């Protein structure tokens, strides 16, 4: 039986990947903080091992000896909310990612995958655009970018296959963060008219079930020292996504565009290209945005009914 280690296994992406791997015959060592295990799948093939991010450097001492296949590192402090702008924390996240990489090597894992982000590309563009004044969100992107660069060099030096998936924008059932899709859906449930930028910047969204499938396939088939975009293969201006959401879940509400200033970077559509991912791994997203928003809205309504 193939065995995967997953840090951040209680989180939105980590728990989804754990369920996907279970469906495909894996045994899992689920790593997260001791008080965070409610989302970890309850299955005899899953062993929960409590470990704080700060103890990642000692992770190899906490795990049993096995023939490990894959190491997925999803643990990242401050991935949403004000903590995205905490410079010390985001730099520490990068070091913890390198610590996890070294632990994977010590445990005999054949390959290491982290949760990269399209924000890495935005951060590069923001940093090297003359006269630009990047927003605080790029501090999080900078942490991801630093982790990527350091892991590439360290992985090459210690001799472990590094594969770097980059998520465009994951959303769906189970996520509770205040990011765009969640915030907008909850406003729609309350009957509030959401406000946005003009929405001309290019964007992409990918549903969580597709994200989990992508991580499994990239882990199994991705080429070492390659990066793979995880997206819908239908990137387009943000406004088009939001109008699709409106038609699907809130046709009676007015979505207001242009009320919020845009201070980010507009990446070219080529930055969202998933063709290499599909060619090397066979992954292609299956859940359309309207369907994914519908599922997510129904889930949020169920959550609010139980409160």
Beta strands 161-167 and 116-117, pairing class: parallel
285 is a domain residue: no
Q: Report the CATH number that the domain containing residue 87 is assigned in CATH.
A: 3.40.50.720
Which pLDDT score is estimated for 306?
Answer: 67
> Which of 21, 40, 22 lies closest to 174, judged by CA?
40
253 is a domain residue: no
149 is a domain residue: yes
Q: How many domains is the chain built from?
A: 1
42 is a domain residue: yes
Domain span holding position 46: 1-167
> Which of 271, 82, 266 lies closest to 167, judged by CA?
271
Which pLDDT score is estimated for 256?
Answer: 97
Which pLDDT score is estimated for 232?
Answer: 98
> Which of 147, 262, 261, 256 lies closest to 203, judged by CA?
262
116 is a domain residue: yes
> Could you list the pLDDT tens digit for every one of the 307 residues in the chain?
899 999 999 999 999 999 999 999 999 999 999 999 999 999 999 999 999 999 999 999 989 888 899 999 999 999 988 999 999 999 999 999 999 999 999 999 999 999 999 999 999 999 999 998 888 989 999 999 999 999 999 999 999 999 999 999 999 999 999 999 999 999 999 999 999 999 999 999 999 999 999 999 999 999 999 999 999 999 999 999 999 999 999 999 999 999 999 988 999 999 999 999 999 999 999 999 999 999 999 999 999 776 5
Q: How many Cβ atoms sit within 10 Å of the Cβ of residue 10? A: 22
Sequence-ordered alpha helix ranges (H) in 128-179:
137-158
Which pLDDT score is estimated for 288?
Answer: 98
34 is a domain residue: yes
39 is a domain residue: yes
73 is a domain residue: yes
CA dihedral 37, 285, 293, 173 (to 10 degrees): -10
Q: How many Cβ atoms sit within 10 Å of the Cβ of residue 30? A: 24
Tell the residue number behind the tokens 């630009």, with chain if given. 132
């Amino acid at each position: 039986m193939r065995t995967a280690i997953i840090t951040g296994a209680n989180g939105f992406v980590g728990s989804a990947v754990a369920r996907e791997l279970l469906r495909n015959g894996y045994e899992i060592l689920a790593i997260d903080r001791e008080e965070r295990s409610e989302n970890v799948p309850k299955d005899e093939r899953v062993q929960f091992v409590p470990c704080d991010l700060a103890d990642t450097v000692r992770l190899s001492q906490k795990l049993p000896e096995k023939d490990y296949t894959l190491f997925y590192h999803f643990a990242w402090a401050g991935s949403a909310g004000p903590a995205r702008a905490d410079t010390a924390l985001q730099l520490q996240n990068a070091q913890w990612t390198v610590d996890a990489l070294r632990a994977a090597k010590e445990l005999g894992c054949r390959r290491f995958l982290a949760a990269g982000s399209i924000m890495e590309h935005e951060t590069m563009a923001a940093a090297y655009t003359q006269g630009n004044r990047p927003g605080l969100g790029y501090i999080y992107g900078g942490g991801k970018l630093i982790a990527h660069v350091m892991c590439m060099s360290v992985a090459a030096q210690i001799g472990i296959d590094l594969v770097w998936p980059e998520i465009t924008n994951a959303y769906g059932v189970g996520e509770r963060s205040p990011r765009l899709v969640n915030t907008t859906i909850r406003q729609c449930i309350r009957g509030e008219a959401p406000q946005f930028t003009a929405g001309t910047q290019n964007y992409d969204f990918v549903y969580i079930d597709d994200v989990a499938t992508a991580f499994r396939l990239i882990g199994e088939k991705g080429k070492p020292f390659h990066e793979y975009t995880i997206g819908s293969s239908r990137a387009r201006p943000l406004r088009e996504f939001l109008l699709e959401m409106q038609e699907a879940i809130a046709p009676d509400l007015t979505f207001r565009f242009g009320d919020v200033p845009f201070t980010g970077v507009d990446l070219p559509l080529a930055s969202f290209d998933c063709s290499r991912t599909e060619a090397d791994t066979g992954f292609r997203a299956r859940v359309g945005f309207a369907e994914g928003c519908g599922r997510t809205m129904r889930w949020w309504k169920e959550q609010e009914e139980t409160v």
